Amino acid sequence: MAEHLKLDNSERLYKEAQELIPGGMMGIRRPYNFVPGEYPIFFDSAKGGKVTDADGNEYLDMLCAYGPIIIGHREREIDAAVIKQIKEKGFCMSIVQEVQNTLAKKVISLVPSAEKVVFTKTGSDSTTLATRIARAFTNKPKIIRCGYHGWADWCVEGKGGVLPKTYEDTLEFEYNDLQQLEDLLKANPGQVAGIIVTPIGHPNAHEVQMPKPGFLEGAKKLAEAHGTVLIFDEIRTGFRVSMGGAQKLFGVTPHMSVFGKAMANGYEISMVAGRKDIMDVLISKAFVSSTYFNNTLPMVAALKTMEILERDNMLDVIAKRGHAFCKKVRKHVKASGLAVQFTGEPWMPYITFDKDETGAYKKTRVNFYTQLIRRKVFLQPYHHGYVAYRHSVKDLNYAADMIAESLEEAKKAA
């Protein structure tokens, strides 16, 4: 059994942070989302596919900042392009810089649904803006959603501090359930402005799901039959499963889509992309503005990220390595004999434990992830991981081996 890690500095910083910041840090990064007492709470540095915590422990980073790190940490070419922009041009001005147009042209050349784009900062910015655009375009009030779409009032899971009237026009359906979607549309005739769905299903703390044959196509057909805007939430899949997103991979073009995370390898940018006539409601009918949406450093980073991804064929490499890694992990999962599911191949690997009436699966899950973090593989018990380009074959073989060892230890303790 692997030894407990030294985490004294992490614990000290966490105690200090709780006196300064509610909860010490934002919710999803708090210790209860990992294994309290076993996982680091503060990182110090990162490079390539690895991160180092405040106590000097180095880990293979397979959470990738919850998705933005598609290539690796501290990528020299990307950072150099950003530094050049800072030194030679600046980045925060009263009106826009030309790089806005350059990035927009690049996106439009890659993303099937992109005839016009609007750049924002976060996934929540983009999903919320997309719903506003859909409502302005259709003059209808309701949104049907499927998936996690951020922390804004209309979609946040935790309802504390949220007025019921801000989400009363948001309806939900289950991924891959076309009948449920159709039933909602029929129950709300002429009322649904938009359907927003993640093209690959990744519900919180549940297995990753691929679309069943006809699901995405069926959603588009239903949207068009009911005069509704279909929106793909590609915050996680965009610039990861293909340069044009899951819509390119699966051959289904939505009316609008939102992107973020991997778009700029960690720099803060997201976007809404869509059909011209729909997007053009922002000219005068609907409003969006932000002091920082036009900052150009992440635009420069996004352009350089896309250039490198294409130049070095990185997404194909990621998929190839991811498939090989997942093949090994599936073999280990099967051999363990535990009630375990492995999903998300090849881009978003996730190990989950089947629920049972006694709740014993929770103890097994904790034991497994405790052993895994002690072996310096950084994954999250309640969220899928990611494969980045800087995860070498050696790194991924190591991760697969450590998963095997951790499953064995969890089985002994079960």
Residue range 193-203, pLDDT digits in tens: 999 999 999 98
What average pLDDT does the segment 236-264 reach? 98
> Which among 303, 245, 310, 237 is positioned nearest to 274, based on CA atoms?
245
Residue 1 has a pLDDT of 74
What average pLDDT does the segment 335-364 reach? 95
Q: Residues of CATH 3.90.1150.10 domain(s) within the chain?
A: 8-73+314-413
Residue 283 has a pLDDT of 98
Confidence of residue 236 (pLDDT cuts 50, 70, 90): very high
Residue 197 has a pLDDT of 98
Instruction: Give me the long-range contacts of 338-344 (CB less than 8 A, separation at least 24).
Output: 338/364, 338/407, 338/410, 338/411, 338/414, 340/407, 341/207, 343/207, 343/208, 343/209, 343/384, 344/202, 344/207, 344/208, 344/384, 344/385
Residue 175 has a pLDDT of 98
Which residues pair with residue 172 across a beta bridge? 145
305 in Cβ contact with 94 (< 8 Å): no
Residue 23 has a pLDDT of 97
Task: Give 398's contacts (C-beta < 8 A, 6+ positions apart).
Answer: 60, 377
Query: Quick one: 8-73+314-413 is in which CATH superfamily?
Result: Aspartate Aminotransferase, domain 1 (3.90.1150.10)
Residue 59 has a pLDDT of 98
Q: Residues of CATH 3.40.640.10 domain(s) within the chain?
A: 76-311
Q: In degrees rounded to 5, what are phi and psi of residue 232?
A: -95, 125
Confidence of residue 174 (pLDDT cuts 50, 70, 90): very high
CA-based radius of gyration for the chain:
22
Measured CA to CA, the distance from residue 138 to residue 91 in angstroms comes to 36
Confidence of residue 158 (pLDDT cuts 50, 70, 90): very high
Confidence of residue 238 (pLDDT cuts 50, 70, 90): very high
Q: Which CATH number fits domain 76-311: 3.30.1370.160, 3.40.640.10, 1.10.10.10, 3.40.1010.10?
A: 3.40.640.10
Confidence of residue 2 (pLDDT cuts 50, 70, 90): confident
201 in Cβ contact with 82 (< 8 Å): no
Measured CA to CA, the distance from residue 304 to residue 79 in angstroms comes to 9
Confidence of residue 413 (pLDDT cuts 50, 70, 90): confident
Task: Give 54's contacts (C-beta < 8 A, 6+ positions apart).
Answer: 9, 10, 13, 40, 41, 42, 43, 44
Residue 224 CB: number of other CB atoms within 10 A?
A: 12
Residue 205 has a pLDDT of 81
Measured CA to CA, the distance from residue 244 to residue 230 in angstroms comes to 17
Give the total residue count for the chain.
Answer: 414
Confidence of residue 414 (pLDDT cuts 50, 70, 90): confident
What mean pLDDT is reported for the chain?
A: 97
What average pLDDT does the segment 5-34 reach? 97
What average pLDDT does the segment 381-406 reach? 98
Based on the number of CB atoms within 10 Å of its own CB, is 326 exposed (0-12), middle (13-18) or buried (19 or more)? Answer: buried
Residue 109 has a pLDDT of 98
- For 74-133, write each residue's pLDDT tens digit: 999 999 999 999 999 999 999 999 999 999 999 999 999 999 999 999 999 999 999 999
